[in-house]
Chains A and B, each alone.
Chain A
Amino acid sequence: MKQMKKSDWVARQCFKIILVLCSVIFLLNVFWPDQGKSDVENRPLAQFPTLSQHFLNDLDSYFSDQFIGRNFLLNANYVLKKTEGIKEIDGVYLGKGRLIQQSEPYDEQIVSKNMDALNAFYQKYPLNTTLMIVPTAQSIEKDRLPAFVVTQEEQLDSIYAKIGEGIANVDLRPILNEHKNEDIYYKTDHHWTSLGAKYGYEGMFQSEPQCTVYPLTSDFQGTLASKTGSPFLKDSIDLYVPNNMPDYVVTYGSDQHKSRTMYDQDAIHTKDKYQVFLGPNQGMVKIESNNESDKRLVIFKDSYANSLIQFLIPQYRTITIIDPRYYYDDIDKVMKSDLITDVLVCYNYSNFVSDSTLSDVLQSAG
């Protein structure tokens, strides 16, 4: 009998507390000012819906997007999952002391398409052509990954086997593995650091660039921190400015606006601080330098190349940077009008095996 009363007490109290709690949270949600966007999730948040066929659905998204304490609850979820022994949240591995993005699955069809397009492009423009596929942290930071995660070794080998004669291949595995205990990838972001990119440069030119390092911020929580809700890890961003950096002008393709630096200092006040390197993703960016070089480079790249470019500026008279994911113009015109002498394809492994826009742009040549 006593047991019964005890359980009744728990039941009644539980009901009262949760009813009050839920009602209070409801009222708070109603009166709390709405947010326009989420820095943590890097996206606009749903706003109060207008009357339409989807009103109730939209109301649902609005309520969960604007839910009070949402960011705190996302952080709490990370702590919970980590405590449970879960080693992966939303495609991000919870590694030792860092977050490591899971690579996209290797898509043989896309890889073949990209490689065929590159080989055909070389046939059309037999210039000094280099392919640099940067292994991601999942491949290099094996020791920091959860046990039994599959890496990218075989897949990289099979990509390299598809490279046509005449195209130089930069296999960064040896040099990156040599430095694998340094911070060559951000702990909280899916990109490599300036230090990593410096090793990338070394792998490409077989010489070490002489640079001055400028620490920019030590308060960077990148995309992987957002995806997992990890509240504790933070990264530093350093700029590596080559000692022989010439004067140069950067022209951004979207609005043709010009800048005398590739570093967008304003980015450190935003969420995605990696944008300090050449700003947000753009279809085409051009860099013209005041140096003695007679080489003119075109780069087909994803965002990994953005931090590599700081090392490349002294080496080339002009650099034309094309991000095939956002590029819809005539590539032949660029090759001719920019008097291109060198071609670099620089992608991270994950994008190269899953994104076929490179082949679309290269194939449009002709």
Chain B
Amino acid sequence: MVFNNLLFLFGFLPITWIAYRTIKKPEAKNIFLFAASLLFYAFGSWQDLVVLVIFGIWTFVSGLEMEARPEYKKQICIGSIAFLIAVLCFYKYIPYWFDELKIAFPIGISFYTFSAVSYLADVYTKKTPVQKDPVAFGLYLAFFGKVNMGPISEYHQLESQLVRRNQTLKQCGQGMLMFIRGLVKKVVLADQIAVAYTLLGTDTSFLGAWLLGLAYTFQLYFDFSGYSDMAIGLGKMFGFEIPINFDHPYIATSVQDFWRRWHIALSQWFRDYVYIPLGGNRVGEQKYIRNILIVWILTGIWHGPNLTFIVWGLYYGLLLLAEHYWFKKRLDRFPRWMRIVLVFLIANIGWVFFSNPTIGQAFTQLKNMIGVGVSSFASDRAIYVLTSYGLIFATCVLFSSTLFSQLFEKTIQKKFGKQVWLGVYLAAFAVCVIMIVASTSHTFLYFAF
């Protein structure tokens, strides 16, 4: 199931919350929440649930084994992680190479595999003790808020919240506001800009290529960060404090800054479990360059099997090195707005590789973006999309920056009463529900018998 789903919003969520609240014993609360999470995940498919449960048992037992047999700790840890990564690779890459096999990709496996690896690594490095409560461990891996799309959340960040959590009304309220913000990002912005992206699919005009790039840039950000916000919001409603995953990445002032703001949980995971174990930056120059490149090629590979993702990862690896050694100081001399624009453009070009199925198509779009091989300056279709979706593009720009929250705080919070503020959130929720219902509409031209 996903969060922007009627059965979730008007069934699963209120029932689960009320039942969870009604149960008094912490152990029973945990068991209930774990069971509800498994049910949530089973809405995707029963087969996926089997994979998740096997992963959970494997990781949990590996943790216990590491404690029971300290002399084989390293072997157990490496072997266990190798198995998890091998299964992940199997699902991720085998269907790509052998598309005739029709292997379905279990939802969220990229995310919960990394959560599992985080647990094993934390136990191995003694950052945290072994988790002996299977329900608490299951909740870490499968909590319905984060099982589908993260945030990955490192084990040591959540460990203290797994067995017992406080759940205050204030926290629930903050969670709800965050959830609604995420829902708006996903339903109102990402899903609508996705339509513009589809309309522009084959446009080869100069304007069309840029709009296509921009549409993807915003769609990806609002889709993913919206989903993360909803996940964190839901976490709060059930007493979890999951760290934020996106912090206005499109107003970053350097490439490094961008990656401190974009998919923070993934960057941290690679930093903590790959980059630092490899020696990080406390090594010679050659090794440092090697470490950066390894991390970024792996980041690319994690996103998908296509060569385009590896190129995208390498693109950022090389850019970060170039920034570190070469243009950081020059960049600092530019005014802030210019750096923001530059980094935004760099991100846009990156997404061109990310969004196209082949390197060839990515380069065709890039060429069109610099005016090479274009059909015209602006095709009718591109102008149509611009006039039709102009308001949504503008809203995306506003929401990507902190302008909106500043505007919101200055005008609505200060000038109007708290009732208006509340009204805005409730209206936003209603708009999302309307759009979700519309997205489930299938009108038939002739009655479908």
Interface set of A (CB-CB < 8 Å, partner B): 3, 6-15, 17-19, 22-23, 25-26, 29, 40-44, 53, 56-57, 59-60, 63-65, 67, 70, 73-74, 76-77, 80, 84-88, 90, 146-150, 190, 223, 226-227, 229, 271-272, 280-281
Contact = CB atoms under 8 A, between A and B. Distances in A.
Interface stretch (B12-20, B112-120, B286-294): B12-20
7 contacts: A10-B421, A12-B170, A26-B14, A42-B448, A77-B437, A85-B388, A86-B192
A87 B383 CA distance: 12
Contact of B418 (A10, A65, A87): A10
A10 B384 contact: no
Contacts of B10: 22, 25-26, 29, 63, 67
B445 interface: yes
Contact of A11 (B7, B170, B192): B170
Which secondary structure characterizes the binding site on chain A?
Answer: helix
Contact of A23 (B18, B392, B421): B18
A17 B388 contact: no
Interface of B: 1, 5-7, 9-11, 13-15, 17-18, 42-43, 46, 169-170, 172-177, 180, 192, 237, 380-381, 383-384, 387-392, 413, 418, 421-422, 425-426, 429, 431, 433-435, 437-438, 440-448
Nearest to A11: B173
B11 A80 contact: no
Nearest to B421: A10
A86 B15 CA distance: 36
Contacts of B443: 40-43, 90, 223, 226-227
B9 A22 contact: yes
Which secondary structure characterizes the binding site on chain B?
Answer: helix
A196 B172 CA distance: 60
B17 A148 contact: no
Given A22-B10, A227-B443, 16 more contacts: A6-B413, A6-B421, A14-B426, A15-B169, A17-B422, A19-B14, A41-B443, A43-B444, A53-B46, A56-B43, A65-B440, A67-B6, A70-B437, A73-B433, A73-B434, A272-B446
B343 to A, nearest CB: 29
Given A43-B447, A85-B388, A12 B173 contact: yes
User: Which of A64, A65, A150 is most buried by chain B, counting CB atoms within 10 A of its CB?
Assistant: A64
Contact of A59 (B7, B173, B426, B440): B7
Q: What are the nearest 6 A-B pairs in CB distance?
A: A11-B173, A77-B438, A148-B384, A15-B176, A15-B173, A73-B437
A15 B418 contact: no
B380 A150 contact: yes
A243 B383 CA distance: 49
B227 to A, nearest CB: 18
A125 to B, nearest CB: 30
B215 to A, nearest CB: 14
